[in-house]
Structure 1
Amino acid sequence: MDSRTTPTLGTAAASARDGGRPTAPSRSLRSRRRRPAVLAMSIALIAAGGLGGAVLYNSTGQRIAVLALARDVPYGQPLTAQDLVVARIASDPALAPISASDLSRAVGRRATTDLHRGTLLLAADLTGALVVQPGMQEVGLPVHAGQLPAVGLQLGQQIEIVQLGDSGGGAPQTMNAVVAQTGKGGDNQVIDVAVPPADAVKLAQWAAGGKFQIILAPKAGGAAPSSVPSPAASPSGSA
């Protein structure tokens, strides 16, 4: 008995049209086969675009660690580690703050101007030089709290020293000076003041006698407050 399979009418007709050649896949089948590859390529392009955007953001918005002021520092005052704080800012060629890695170099240097809390620390804000001019001489003055202004003294500050000893009935002698060093606070301390060499010996004599008073020099462009009594008008305070 013959068990051969007889082709169907549709299959036979298709084979007859194609001359007996194998039938190629339809267009819809080829599209379905290409779709996974296109999807994979799209995902790869999206990932590459996101990575490129991240690299561009990091290159244009890179943040660097720099030094900023944690509190006010007056002119001439040496900086301490407590005066500074690390801040992170976007890199900008127009800015030139001191790097946080240079903290040890900044500590101990003196402020060239009044520095204010929250501002970035620049190289021009610091100096290693003394606040006194070359040729000046420093004289140590032993002082107690009653001989100093209530606000205290700061390095580089202009002061006037008033001699309160017996001046023969004339006006008390005064001398201009600049604060070069300040001692530790307390009832008794020593401060160093810078004066011209011609005044150094006289000031040393005043310091030995202990009868002097330190007052703040008037600020530029301002007059001395009228509420501050003149040493000549209060002889009882000269004893």
Structure 2
Amino acid sequence: MRGRRAVENRSMPTPPRRLGARRRRPAVLAMAVALIAAGGLGGAVLYNSSGQRIAVVALARDVPMGQVISSDDLVVAHIAGDPALRPLDARDLQGTIGLRATTDLKRGALLVKSDLTSDPATQAGQQIVGVYAKRSQLPATKLQPGLQILIVNAPAGDGGSAGATTRSPDTLTAVVAAVGRPDTDGSTVIDVAVGPSDGPKLALWVAGGKFQVILAPRSSGGS
């Protein structure tokens, strides 16, 4: 019986070992890793060639028209280069500090050259007059430095009676130099710049309290 089992064991063929498959498996994995790495490298090259990242100047917060730019208003942003966009280079950031905004600037927007000016809000020889105005004497639009306005004198009694002579109200052209913080009732002190001969006249209007502030047309520059 023992001899028969030995003969049977010798007659059963031993399955061959798949050494070739085991040897190929690491090679296949290595090839896959190489292809993935090559694909990532190719994608990076394509990304860099299609849109090179550049450092530009952007707005860190809202800046109203006429306000002087400070370092806290600006931030460096990195964007893909585009010939259609001409934002200020990050190297020009320090040079923009101290300039005035020519329009309302919004947080997150890219800063361009036309957004800034070195021209002062007031001109040499102008007088600064503080105008204390009630909410009803001001336009609903928020006044900002650099904005041109008209101040109309409306003294009591003009046109108030049937016998009064109707005449055109006195008007002065002014530029907003600074805007104070509104009081609880909405009254605000506004520093305005006027010509050398108009300062005393405007001061009398303000003392009388009968005046109105009007926005001047930007296109015509006011009159």
Q: Distance in 2 between matches of 1:44 and 1:213?
A: 77
Q: After TM superposition, give the deviation of residue 90 of structure 1 in Å.
A: 0.5
Q: After TM superposition, give the deviation of residue 83 of structure 1 in Å.
A: 6.3
**Residue 50 and residue 68 in structure 1: after superposition, are their counterparts in 2 closer, same or farther (change >3 A)?**
same
Q: After TM superposition, give the deviation of residue 78 of structure 1 in Å.
A: 3.7
**Structure 1: stretches of 5+ with no match in the other structure:** 1-34, 222-239
**Residue 144 and residue 98 in structure 1: after superposition, are their counterparts in 2 closer, same or farther (change >3 A)?**
same
What's the TM-score, normalizing by structure 1?
0.56
Which residue identity does 2:176 align to in structure 1? V
SS in 2 for 1:97: coil
Cross-structure match for 2:208: 209
Q: Distance in 2 between matches of 1:112 and 1:44?
A: 55
Q: After TM superposition, give the deviation of residue 182 of structure 1 in Å.
A: 0.9
Which segment is superposed worse, 87-96 or 191-200?
87-96
Q: What is the aligned counterpart of 2:137 among 128, 147, 167?
A: 147
Cross-structure match for 2:175: 178
1:110 partnered with 2:100: yes
CA contact (8 A) 2:154 2:211 kept: yes
| Deviation by residue 1:110-138 (Cα, 9 ceiling, x = unmatched) | 21234456642113312343233444332
Which segment is superposed worse, 112-121 or 147-156?
112-121
**Residue 113 and residue 206 in structure 1: after superposition, are their counterparts in 2 closer, same or farther (change >3 A)?**
same
Cross-structure match for 1:53: 42
CA contact (8 A) 2:182 2:189 kept: no
Q: After TM superposition, give the deviation of residue 147 of structure 1 in Å.
A: 1.9
Computing the radius of gyration from Cα coordinates, the structure with the larger value is 1
| Deviation by residue 1:153-186 (Cα, 9 ceiling, x = unmatched) | 1222221111223568544311111212111122
RMSD: 4.4
**Residue 99 and residue 80 in structure 1: after superposition, are their counterparts in 2 closer, same or farther (change >3 A)?**
same
SS in 2 for 1:205: helix
Which residue identity does 1:211 align to in structure 2? K
**Residue 201 and residue 49 in structure 1: after superposition, are their counterparts in 2 closer, same or farther (change >3 A)?**
same
Cross-structure match for 1:15: none
Higher relative contact order (CA 8 A, sep 6+): 2
The number of residues matched between the two structures is 190
Which residue identity does 1:177 align to in structure 2? A
**Residue 64 and residue 195 in structure 1: after superposition, are their counterparts in 2 closer, same or farther (change >3 A)?**
same
**Residue 48 and residue 106 in structure 1: after superposition, are their counterparts in 2 closer, same or farther (change >3 A)?**
same
1:66 partnered with 2:63: no
SS in 1 for 2:169: coil
Q: Distance in 2 between matches of 1:95 and 1:215?
A: 37
1:185-224 matched pairs, under 5 angstroms: 185-186=182-183, 187=185, 188-218=187-217, 220=219
**Structure 2: stretches of 5+ with no match in the other structure:** 1-23, 159-163
Q: What is the aligned counterpart of 2:147 among 157, 173, 177?
A: 157
Q: Distance in 2 between matches of 1:216 and 1:197?
A: 21
Q: Distance in 1 between matches of 2:84 and 2:136?
A: 49
